[in-house]
Amino acid sequence: MIDVLQTMNLRPEVQPDLEARYRVHGPDAPDSVKANIRGLVTNGHAGASRELIDSLPKLEIIVSSSVGYDHIDVEYARSKGIPVTNTAGSLDDDVADLAIALMIMTARKLVPSDKYVRDNRWAKEGDYPLQRRASGKRVGILGLGRIGKAIARRAEAMDNTIAYHSRREVADSPYTYYPTLVELAKNSDFLVVVLPSSPESHKIVSQEVIAALGPSGIIVNVARGTVVDEDVLIAALQAGALGGAGLDVFYDEPRVPEVFFGMENVVLMPHVGSATVETRRAMSQLTLDNLDAHFAGKKLLTPV
């Protein structure tokens, strides 16, 4: 059997298949075992550092059960002829659903209005204050990839107008393209962040961008916390220079700035964009399918 190192478990429905087809070892495997490892099963959090790659002299393939691969040294792996795969396409719908949910929850202040009822304030104090709608607005999408397009379709169905900014204009896109992020922010009521983490995207949602979005604007981030300048975001929310934020990701997860906890115009989620049984099962299966494809000499399904 082929020896595989696994730094995280796949879903219970898929893990037995992995163990039936391969000799699976945990991350604490001794060097004598690592010397024979040919496949690495990981995810975006556990990653694959240069040191780990170097400790596996026979490594042929890295399969990641996540879309993001910012903790995998992809360039170093490529330099050694080791392909890397992810689970692109498997979580598009769930992340898009959550982005729309965060838009609505933030604009309508659904979390504090729920608490208003639970605290029995409705009966004592009367109706909850009026909020803003999430339809018929201008939705700007930062990153019009697969997930960005899925968000656009959903937002468009709510009678929103769609615009976007990406590194380059997307061919055949029906949506308005802005060549700069600041221009997009100036022309948006919601700025939905779907950009992958990279050195180029680090804190790309800057003070200038947030100022352009303005005091009635709302930021929704379902990408990576590093894409938004969190300190600037907090300052803008405190000063009333930004209308609100719906956040599924943070700069230093799982440590979330406590200042967010008291903000009624901020919705906080514990990075659950892809956290459904159906999607996590599909991600695990795609991870195993990529591993099988490599060792069967077939084309990889979702190479990075």
Locus of tokens 């037995």: 16
Give residue 10's pLDDT.
Answer: 97
Give residue 61's pLDDT.
Answer: 99
Give residue 197's pLDDT.
Answer: 86
Fold of 92-268: Rossmann fold (3.40.50)
Give residue 73's pLDDT.
Answer: 96
Q: Which amino acid is at 214?
A: G
Tally the C-alpha atoms within 13 A of residue 100's C-alpha that lie toward its C-beta.
20
Its CATH class, for the domain covering 2-90+277-295, is alpha beta
Which parts of the chain sit beneath pLDDT 50? none
pLDDT, tens digit (0-9, with 9 covering 90-100), for 33-90: 999 999 999 998 899 999 999 999 999 999 999 988 888 999 999 999 999 999 999 9
Is the CA virtual torsion 202, 279, 301, 80 positive or negative? positive
Give residue 45's pLDDT.
Answer: 85
Give residue 297's pLDDT.
Answer: 98
Which residues of the chain does CATH 3.40.50.720 include?
2-90+277-295, 92-268
| C-alpha span between 235 and 212 (Å, rounded) | 15
Give residue 211's pLDDT.
Answer: 98
Any idea which residues carry the catalytic annotation?
A: 224, 253, 271
Give residue 68's pLDDT.
Answer: 84
Strand order in the sheet with 266-268: 176-177, 161-165, 138-142, 190-193, 218-221, 244-247, 266-268
